[in-house]
A and B are shown apart, each in its own frame.
Chain A
Amino acid sequence: GAGVSQSPRYKVAKRGQDVALRCDPISGHVSLFWYQQALGQGPEFLTYFQNEAQLDKSGLPSDRFFAERPEGSVSTLKIQRTQQEDSAVYLCASSPGLAGASDNEQFFGPGTRLTVL
């Protein structure tokens, strides 16, 4: 079946532009995560949704970052006034149940590579 998809796969933005990154999780998955992966680093947590509720946004690096999942399926990560340090791969992951369940695997999308010039 279809996995997690993300679009666009690549995005180039000029500094100061706003960008929107989309995540289509696996159908029916309750939990959705966003991670940021800088070059040469491991993914770092940004935010977590349980259905439409954003339960944790402690990893968002600044108030320029905003995420939503209004209908509990597709999610959008928006970055306002992009800066060069925002350049990274943004990964989305979904899992079928509530986060923390011992058999709850996170399924990752291919990511969106954002380059800010």
Chain B
Amino acid sequence: AQSVTQPDIHITVSEGASLELRCNYSYGATPYLFWYVQSPGQGLQLLLKYFSGDTLVQGIKGFEAEFKRSQSSFNLRKPSVHWSDAAEYFCAVGPPAYSGAGSYQLTFGKGTKLSVIP
């Protein structure tokens, strides 16, 4: 069965510092990969996604992520964090279209809570 591991439960960074959030997945093939952000009381917002092609993907709000097949990782990065980035971040995987699965739900990690020090 597929699984997603986000090893860091809580990360605190200073405003302006760089950020990297880790994500490792277990899957039988190369899945579709996603990063979502969730602010308190809000739904999940898609930051970026990877399906195929260039392994470095750009997203909204200045985020990027790099897919590394050999490490089964999809880490999220941002060069300079803003106070408004404080939120919870979720990595997720979904089956690729050719899998023939009956449905295409996302499997999420447990999330990493980001705190930003002014």
Residues of B within 8 A of A106 (CB): 46, 106
Whether B43 and A42, one on each chain, are in contact in the complex, defined by CB atoms closer than 8 angstroms, is no
What's the minimum C-beta distance from A113 to chain B, rounded to whole angstroms? 9
Pick from B4, B41, B51: contact of A102, CB below 8 A.
B51
Q: Which residue of B lies closest to A105 (CB)?
A: B46
CB neighbors of B among A93-111 (8 A)? 93, 99-106, 108-111
Which B100-118 residues have C-beta < 8 A from chain A?
A: 101-111
* Cα–Cα, bound, A106→B110 (Å): 18
Residues of B contacting A93 in the complex (Cβ-Cβ under 8 angstroms):
44
Which of under 10, 10 to 19, 20 to 34, or 35 or more describes the interface residues of B? 20 to 34
> CB-CB < 8 A to A104: which residues of B?
104
With the chains together, A91 CA to B44 CA distance in Å? 9
Contact of A108 among B32, B41, B43, B101 (CB under 8 A): B43
Q: B45–A105 contact, CB under 8 A?
A: no
How many residues from A make CB contacts under 8 Å with B? 29
Contact B103 A48 (CB under 8 A): yes
Cβ contact within 8 Å between A100 and B105 = no
Least distance between B80 CB and chain A CB atoms (Å)? 26
Which A residues are CB-close (under 8 A) to B96?
100
Residue in chain A with minimal CB distance to B90: A42
- Inter-chain contacts of A66 with B (CB < 8 A): none
Asked if A114 is at the interface of the complex by the 8 Å CB criterion, the answer is no
- Name the contact of B104 in the complex, choosing from A59, A91, A99 (C-beta under 8 A): A99
Among residues 75 to 108 in chain B, which have CB atoms less than 8 Å away from a CB atom of chain A? 90, 92, 94-97, 99, 101-108
A110:B105 contact, CB within 8 angstroms: no
A56 touches B105 (CB 8 A): yes
Is the pair A108, B45 in contact by a Cβ cutoff of 8 Å?
yes
A56-B103 contact, Cβ under 8 Å, with A101-B97, A108-B45: yes
Whether, in the assembled complex, B71 has its beta carbon less than 8 Å from a beta carbon of chain A, the answer is: no
User: Given contacts A33-B106, A100-B99, could you give 13 more A-B pairs where the C-beta distance is less than 8 Å?
Assistant: A3-B43, A42-B109, A43-B108, A48-B103, A48-B104, A55-B102, A55-B103, A58-B103, A100-B101, A104-B104, A105-B46, A106-B46, A106-B106
Interface pairs (5), CB distance under 8 Å: A41-B110, A41-B111, A44-B108, A45-B105, A99-B105
